[in-house]
Amino acid sequence: MRSWKSLRGAMIALGCALGLTAALAAPAHAQKKYKIFLSLSYSGNAWQSEAANIVKALAATPPYDKMVDLREVISGTDVQAQISAYQSMIDAGAQGIISFPVSPTGLNRIIKRGCAKGVLFFMYDATVTEPCAYNVSYITAGFGENTAQALVNELGGKGKIFLSRGVPGNSVDKRHTDGAMSIFKKYPGIKIVAEYYGMWSDQTTQSETAKALAAHPDVDGIWAQAGEDGAIKALLATGQKKLIPVTGENSNGFRLALANPDYQARGLKGVSSGSPPATAGYAFKLMMEKLTGKRDLKVHNIQYPLPWVPASAVKLCTSDKFENGCNTFPEGKVPDSFVTEVFQPTLLPELSLVTAQEGKPTPGATIQPLPAEVVAAPDTPGINCSHCNPPANLYPLTKVQPTVQP
């Protein structure tokens, strides 16, 4: 088994290196540009596509369109493959690597090697513990603990629940689950009867939730990471009239379900929170301001605000933007899997639906400077630092308070 794993890792690394060939062999531009690589590990869901599209759109927005040579590489969920990808980028003369990292610790050595050669590493959403890298993420803002408490409140402190997790080994999944478990462990009446990896995919989550429902049809609630719209579809596919509380992330289909009066009458309750693909755009703009000397960025762990939309706060948009307090698009405007949190008017006024869906710049937009201040994320061992002291309360409730005492 061990030799097979080694062979498999080598084959994946070779495949990744071959996949880089086209990107690294791109013709040189007459005008010198910053050589930036967009490195994805996990791919294949709406969130990853939108985040990558946002970066590509910003790189094509004036004046960055004349300043950036952006090349995209997808290495998959194998750590060794992303290590090989990073090494190839460093060897190709990368000045910046903006990345969704597959592991918080497994990439540290190659990142440190790249930093020593002057490469800037900016991680978005997922994080690493190598101190020379910059982490731009919302995960320390408390998705896990806040959504878990919201579910406990809906269930009155007792009931059988499913945990629908993300991608194993990733810092996002670990931080979410650690935060959630810090709450669930306080309530002996909460029983986790199924725990599975939905891979942040609606399709996989629907399949895994359906299996769990077949084994536990009497489940009382679902705590879900991305892919939560698949959990809703699995519930509806049972044909049972009764629905149950579900907490999840930011898919448009999930928000529409939460606001559906028929579903509410049948028992669906919950809150939409979680990961904004816009973190990728924020990380890219920070990197460019650092590269161009417009920003002296001393903080390496930067926190992005946590979205929080209870069912009662879902509001449909009438245009292609979040305006007048709206936060969800009408059915048919975007796919159910579309992740709504792609706009941030203060940090990313350049973004629009076309940026998230097609990777194209917003017509007429130009890059706007970021606010001078950044919000520092708390030190979280194993997530954004190694040898560090976490705050006394690592999992504070910031969006919801207990209505049921432990």
Among 7-21, 153-167, 256-270, 370-384, which stretch is predicted with the lowest mean pLDDT?
Answer: 7-21
Examine the domain organization and report whether 130 and 255 are in the same domain. no
Instruction: List, edge to edge, every strand of the sheet that includes 120-124.
Output: 68-74, 34-40, 96-100, 120-124, 134-137, 301-303
Examine the domain organization and report whether 121 and 168 are in the same domain. no
Asked if 366 and 62 count as a contact pair (C-beta separation under 8 A), the reply is: yes
Examine the domain organization and report whether 6 and 132 are in the same domain. yes
Nearest alpha-carbon partner for 139 in 353, 341, 307? 307
Instruction: Return the ∠ at Cα 9 (arms to 3 and 15), rounded to 5°.
Output: 140
Q: What is the pLDDT of residue 31?
A: 56
How many other CB atoms are there within 10 angstroms of residue 198's CB atom? Answer: 27
Examine the domain organization and report whether 132 and 210 are in the same domain. no
**The domain that contains 58 carries what CATH number?**
3.40.50.2300
Q: What is the pLDDT of residue 243?
A: 98
pLDDT digits (tens, 9 = 90+) for 285-316: 999 999 999 999 999 999 999 999 999 999 99
Examine the domain organization and report whether 118 and 149 are in the same domain. no
Examine the domain organization and report whether 265 and 291 are in the same domain. no
Q: What is the pLDDT of residue 386?
A: 93
170 within some domain: yes
pLDDT digits (tens, 9 = 90+) for 255-276: 999 999 999 999 999 999 999 9
pLDDT digits (tens, 9 = 90+) for 13-26: 445 444 444 444 44
Query: Which backbone phi and psi does 169 adopt, to 5 degrees?
Result: 85, -5
Nearest alpha-carbon partner for 353 in 325, 324, 308, 323? 323
Whole domain around residue 175: which residue ranges? 142-273
Examine the domain organization and report whether 7 and 132 are in the same domain. yes
Of the three residues 229, 255, 273, the one that is the final residue of a domain is 273
Asked if 231 and 203 count as a contact pair (C-beta separation under 8 A), the reply is: no
pLDDT digits (tens, 9 = 90+) for 84-143: 999 999 999 999 999 999 999 999 999 999 999 999 999 999 999 999 999 999 999 999
Examine the domain organization and report whether 207 and 186 are in the same domain. yes
pLDDT digits (tens, 9 = 90+) for 195-249: 999 999 999 999 999 999 999 999 999 999 999 999 999 999 999 999 999 999 9
385, amino acid identity: C
Distance CA(29)–CA(41), nearest Å, equals 27
Count of domains forming the chain:
2
DSSP codes, 347-386: TBTT--HHHHHH--PPTT--PPPPPS--PBPPP-BTTTBS
